[in-house]
Structure 1
Amino acid sequence: MQQLRRENAQRVLEHMWGSGAATASELMEVTGLTRATVLTLCKALVDEGWLTSAGTARRRGGHSTGRPALRYAFRPDAAYVIGVDAGQHGISAAVADLRANEVGRAHRRLDPEVLDPGFRRDEVDEAIDSALTAAAVEPERIRAIVLGVPAPVDLDGLSPGDANPFWQRMNPDLITLGDARGWPAIVENDANLAALAELRLSAEAPESSFAALLSGERFGAGIVMNGELVRQPRGRTGEMGFLDMVEGVGSSEGLGGLARRLARDALAEGRRDSSLAGVGADRVQAEHVFAAAHREDPLALEIVEDLAGRLARVCMLLGGLLDIDRVVLCGAVAPALGDLMDAVRRRLPENPYAPWLQVEASTLGADAVRAGAVRCAIDHVRAHALEV
């Protein structure tokens, strides 16, 4: 009987989680439960902090006899979650309520040349503490933490070191970070989390099939098929190392890294017909290149055309291989890709394998992985809310 009651309570909570205030009659209609059962369950959920009494409601028309119906509403502050983007160049952590409203953030920059795993763990921990302080949320109110890393992650939250030692350095056993605090922890590939964030924004989410392509320092893809994230036990779905063997692409180096490298190489070789020379070969970054291309700087335009050719091939490959509808460029570099996206779209009609493919830039920018981590953590809390 206790199990049945918990299942019924979960049905009520599931409806309330994604809706506004509701009366017992409305909950009876959507759950199929009796009035007495609904009222009992709502009282229990109020006592446990998941729901709150939200005043009363009279029938439409304003004229009815008897007491007005009591309304119930979900409490987004019933618990909190933490989402972390633990990238190679920086860490972004956020505390959010159960409706994904971020109430506190923290950011820490990292020197990508410092690869000490212990240092990285400490920096992630510091970012989490800073986000908690900014949110003024007590640690015991956290119900889950999700950390995104630039590495494949298996079902145990670990990253392999056999093919690439960099992966383990990016994920130095981060799955254990929640142990001392009593938090359930999930470690996930960053592109997968970006895909989850994009899925939440997708109007056609139940049928959507797309690749969320992180394109900063390295290419990595989160694959969504028919509204579901594709995930294999080894966690290597969407790894793009095979691009080393693709003619016209040549490596899995991402757009941000490529733009920076190509500009620095050209300037170091003496190229001076560009405003990028004023930035300096040792200081120029990808954002300088994309901004200069928008101003029709000759060197920047050459780099954008080079990147567009590579990216178009990557998108055509993904579209033809996976039969997906679109490729979404994600990450901090995405908002600056307007001219590059135009150049890519000009090449797409050349695609004989997926002529329907759409390519677009995410609106989430640098927040994509962290937003996906928050959503993943909320999904975990939602699935386990009433477990003893």
Structure 2
Amino acid sequence: MPASPSTARAINDRLALRLLQQEGPLTAGQLKQLTGLSRPTVADLVERLTASGLITVVGEAGEQRRGPNARLYGIVADRAHLAALDVRTESVSVTVTDLLGRELAEASVPIGDDTGTGPAVEQAVTLVERVAKEAGAEQLHTVGIGAPGLIDPDTGELRDSTGLPAWHRRLVAALQERLPRARVIVENETNLAALAEQRDGAARGRDTFVLLWLGHGTGAAVVLDGALRRGASGGTGEIGFLPVPGTGGVPSATDCSGGFHSLAGAAAVTELAGAYGLSGEQGGREPAAAELVRRAAESLAEASPGETSSGTASSGDGARAADFLDALADRVALGVASVVAVLDPGCVVLGGEIGQAGGEVLAGRVAERVGRMSPLRTEVRASALGGGAVLRGALLTARERAQDELFAPACPPTHPPR
């Protein structure tokens, strides 16, 4: 059954807008070539989108060309401003962009463990307002938030989780109250990191993969056949609770101690490094653990004469670094092999600051061990984005949601709302 004229116009408009988003400013002739539409159809959609305020003339193509055919059309970037937040247990980072995702301002603020819920929420909300003002945004259209913990798949809200600060859940409501005209959406941080790695990082081009988050805590995001899987309760990927050998216990419903978290979380990584004579700032904070892993990986990557055929340095600091990374790879491989046995994703990305810090040195060691443990062929890749993937994923999600709404007058959504 052929599409109705109104539906056909909506499809053509959305196609043109997506091309302008991906390719940048285009002439009507270029839109005709890229869309395959007729010249009159392109002229109509350009007039329609210009009248709606979604696109405008931004220049001309070529110094020798003049007239209507040379006009370059682009999306009106300041039609909407977006904010992305990366909410950690001890800090908040914010970036504000235009509709095309161009960063206009960014900042972060630490939030100490002894900060009360009210003051912590106020610090975070004030930060968002300040960054928006610095970006020249009179109001925010969409705010995307990445946070640790479970997201209720029915309500889209952050569930109350033991071990996470109470201000996390209060923050979402506070932002909605202070920014009543903004759309506030929240997503699990590891899921957002996976979306960012798929779009711009180590999982680019993959429809099926798992991102294993290695940072202050541990988690996993599962993408199967192009879709992010959340599970019946939003708990897909809570790998920190995975019972594994070597922890001296088992996790409980309210405490992941004794689970994979106890082997691969930042505090455990810092303690493991100390056992091999590698020291750094103590406290189990993400940057300290990542720095220890990075220094160890760099010392091996730079060593060449003192290496054995397996890539292990023969003596001194290099030997300690190699032993540390071998022990860490043993631990990480337990989590990866468990995921591979159940999902067979074909690719696992080691994400988070620690995964990025270990780079190919750690990823290669993990891949070697998983290859011995599982008959299923699996690539193990190091994150290309690290901790910045959460903020990037939050921005991508906010931009997609904003564009769906702003393009809606002419274009129906390309996917069902969540």
Same fold (TM over 0.5): yes
Does the CA-based 8 Å contact 2:86-2:146 persist in structure 1?
Answer: yes
Q: 1:71 to 1:138 in 2, by over 3 A?
A: closer
Where does residue 88 of structure 1 map in the other structure?
89
What CA distance in whole angstroms lies between the structure 2 residues aligned with 1:319 and 1:102? 37
State TM-score, norm by structure 2: 0.76
Where does residue 251 of structure 1 map in the other structure?
259
Question: Within 5 Å, which residues of 2 pair with 1:39-58?
Answer: 39-57=43-61
| Mapped pair 1:345 → 2:367 | yes
Compute the displacement of 1:369 (Å): 0.3
What CA distance in whole angstroms lies between the structure 2 residues aligned with 1:37 and 1:288? 56
RMSD: 3.3
Compute the displacement of 1:252 (Å): 3.3
| Mapped pair 1:289 → 2:292 | yes
Report the secondary structure of 2:99's partner residue: coil
Question: Within 5 Å, which residues of 2 pair with 1:305-320?
Answer: 305-320=326-341
Where does residue 73 of structure 1 map in the other structure?
74
Question: Within 5 Å, which residues of 2 pair with 1:181-200?
Answer: 181=179, 182-200=181-199
Runs of 4+ in 1 over 6 A off after TM superposition: 64-67
Does the CA-based 8 Å contact 1:216-1:332 persist in structure 2?
Answer: yes
Deviates more, 1:118-127 or 1:290-299: 290-299
Where does residue 252 of structure 2 map in the other structure?
none
- Residue 151 of structure 1, aligned match among 149, 157, 171: 149
What CA distance in whole angstroms lies between the structure 1 residues aligned with 2:289 and 2:320? 13
Q: 1:179 to 1:27 in 2, by over 3 A?
A: farther
Does the CA-based 8 Å contact 1:158-1:173 persist in structure 2?
Answer: no
Q: 1:116 to 1:68 in 2, by over 3 A?
A: same
Q: Cα deviations across residues 174-219 of structure 1 (Å, max 9, x unaligned)? A: 4331343210111000000000100102587554311122111211
Question: Within 5 Å, which residues of 2 pair with 1:6-45?
Answer: 8-28=12-32, 31=35, 35-45=39-49
What CA distance in whole angstroms lies between the structure 2 residues aligned with 1:134 and 1:54? 24
The count of aligned residue pairs is 368
| Mapped pair 1:334 → 2:355 | yes
State TM-score, norm by structure 1: 0.81
Unaligned runs of 5+ in 1: 267-272
What CA distance in whole angstroms lies between the structure 2 residues aligned with 1:330 and 1:170? 25
Compute the displacement of 1:363 (Å): 1.9
Report the secondary structure of 1:130's partner residue: helix
Identity of matched residues, %: 28
Report the secondary structure of 1:132's partner residue: helix
Compute the displacement of 1:360 (Å): 1.9
Report the secondary structure of 1:327's partner residue: strand
Does the CA-based 8 Å contact 2:260-2:335 persist in structure 1?
Answer: no
Unaligned runs of 5+ in 2: 248-257, 300-316, 410-418
Where does residue 132 of structure 2 map in the other structure?
132
What CA distance in whole angstroms lies between the structure 2 residues aligned with 1:292 and 1:41? 55
Does the CA-based 8 Å contact 1:145-1:183 persist in structure 2?
Answer: yes
Q: 1:334 to 1:241 in 2, by over 3 A?
A: closer
